[in-house]
Copies of this chain bind each other. A is one copy, B any other.
């Protein structure tokens, strides 16, 4: 693939102009007024995928934003790769924090500044260009399919049905996804673990009438205080979860994996500085990377009750609410965790209160084995481009659609991310490094080569 470097250099200006044409469309999926932009962006993707060498490209309407599907099928005996990406972006507010116009791509110091530059227009577009290279130089050895959706930032809710309805069309040996990050621009990484999640709400309900805190203070139970006592008991001082049975199904992580995690570059000082934390805490016996990667967690994400406006108000409210979010790991089941949570709350309900638990929704954890042949191909591709073995990342987050792909389509997703932690995705001044953009195209092209071998 000696001509790969030349091919990119020769075509780089055009690549960027094509990417910029996507970036200029404000395809914000969470805002109804951008509905025409979603269609416009999907149509633009269709054009670009056809131009890149697809034989067929379609814009599938859904109840929400359309799904772009495109393909180039070589040979039914050749391996098939399904590329997944998304063309929708997050809102750009607050506008005043942007240094460049949020929907006008601007290159400064080797970085493209624009909403979507990384997440996920920039990263998904690398796949289109690696594919174009392989097609135009007659080196494509795999069948390639593209599925680019427009609702990832709002929960991919119409993609579930699309997958269910198009199982045959979407058949593939692996799904390639670039929507995650590297360690730094010289240290590639493959995300091999994602935590699952269970979101729930706990309500503490006291008296039927809101009471005056002077006239009744000291004589009745206060739902704000009782909720605090409940929440306080659910973790120990290190954040270890005290819900009975919570850890029962957590797998013993093989030493090999723990060793891999311990090899993840991690600088505690920098980590703390980046988030502005005084100290790090967490379950004893585990490192920070293990705490967020292979151990489950319990967090409160919101709490409210009583008077929340300015100044004091003499009130004991009737109820208080806490939103809780638990991250789960193999082999925990979020339905079972929901039952354990409910059981804990019921067992800790004081006589004076009613506690309600309502389970919002769950998402399954995800693991990608390093024994998978797609992993081996990716490892070789990174080696060829970066001259380094990629780091294994166990991310604490949850990407529900990835586990859904496995469930509905029976296909594993390989998470080859080329973003950087400093790319400001979801925030003002989102950016994507041109170096990473180019290296991403190279690595993806190499992947196809090794994957077909």
Q: Mark A213-234, 1 if CB is under 8 A from B, else 0.
A: 1111111111011011101110
Q: How far is the CA of A283 from the CA of B217 in the complex (A)?
A: 11
Q: Mark A282-320, 1 if CB is under 8 A from B, else 0.
A: 110000100110011111111111111001111111001
Residue of A218, A224, A278, A352 with most partner-chain B CB within 10 A: A218
> CB < 8 Å: which of B218, B274, B277 contacts A292?
B218
Chain B contacts of A292 at CB under 8 A?
215-219
Chain B contacts of A102 at CB under 8 A?
none
List 9 A-B pairs, Cβ < 8 Å.
Answer: A216-B292, A225-B235, A225-B300, A228-B229, A228-B231, A279-B352, A301-B307, A301-B314, A302-B317
Chain multiplicity (copies): 2
Chain B contacts of A314 at CB under 8 A?
197, 301, 325, 397-398
Residue of A220, A233, A298 with most partner-chain B CB within 10 A: A220
**Nearest-CB residue, chain B, relative to A200:** B312
> CB < 8 Å: which of B197, B228, B231 contacts A300?
B228
Chain B contacts of A168 at CB under 8 A?
none
> CB < 8 Å: which of B206, B237, B300, B398 contacts A224?
B300
Q: Are A278 and B352 in contact (CB under 8 A)?
A: yes
Chain B contacts of A283 at CB under 8 A?
218
Interface check A452, CB cutoff 8 A: no
Chain B contacts of A281 at CB under 8 A?
219-221, 352
**Nearest-CB residue, chain B, relative to A241:** B218
A266 CB, min distance to chain B CBs, angstroms: 11
> CB < 8 Å: which of B213, B237, B275, B312 contacts A209?
B275
Chain B contacts of A224 at CB under 8 A?
231, 299-303, 322
> CB < 8 Å: which of B217, B227, B233, B397 contacts A396?
B217
Chain B contacts of A305 at CB under 8 A?
302-304
**Nearest-CB residue, chain B, relative to A235:** B225
Q: Are B302 and A303 in contact (CB under 8 A)?
A: no
Chain B contacts of A298 at CB under 8 A?
217-218
Q: Are A214 and B301 in contact (CB under 8 A)?
A: no
Q: Mark A326-369, 1 if CB is under 8 A from B, else 0.
A: 01000000000000000000000011111000001100000000
Chain B contacts of A228 at CB under 8 A?
227-229, 231-232, 300, 303, 322
Chain B contacts of A254 at CB under 8 A?
none
Q: Are B216 and A396 in contact (CB under 8 A)?
A: yes
A366 CB, min distance to chain B CBs, angstroms: 12
A327 CB, min distance to chain B CBs, angstroms: 5
Chain B contacts of A352 at CB under 8 A?
277-279, 281
Interface check A94, CB cutoff 8 A: no
Interface check A280, CB cutoff 8 A: yes
Residue of A307, A325, A354, A398 with most partner-chain B CB within 10 A: A325
Interface check A16, CB cutoff 8 A: no
**Nearest-CB residue, chain B, relative to A233:** B232
Q: Mark A169-212, 1 if CB is under 8 A from B, else 0.
A: 00000000000000000000000000101010000001111011
A98 CB, min distance to chain B CBs, angstroms: 18
Q: How far is the CA of A275 from the CA of B397 in the complex (A)?
A: 44
Given A208-B276, A219-B280, A219-B281, the answer on whether A214 and B398 have CB atoms closer than 8 Å is yes
Given A218-B292, A218-B297, the answer on whether A308 and B312 have CB atoms closer than 8 Å is no
A158 CB, min distance to chain B CBs, angstroms: 18
Q: Are A325 and B398 in contact (CB under 8 A)?
A: no
Interface check A35, CB cutoff 8 A: no
Given A216-B292, A225-B235, A300-B222, the answer on whether A199 and B312 have CB atoms closer than 8 Å is yes
Q: Are B301 and A306 in contact (CB under 8 A)?
A: yes
> CB < 8 Å: which of B211, B225, B295 contacts A218?
B295
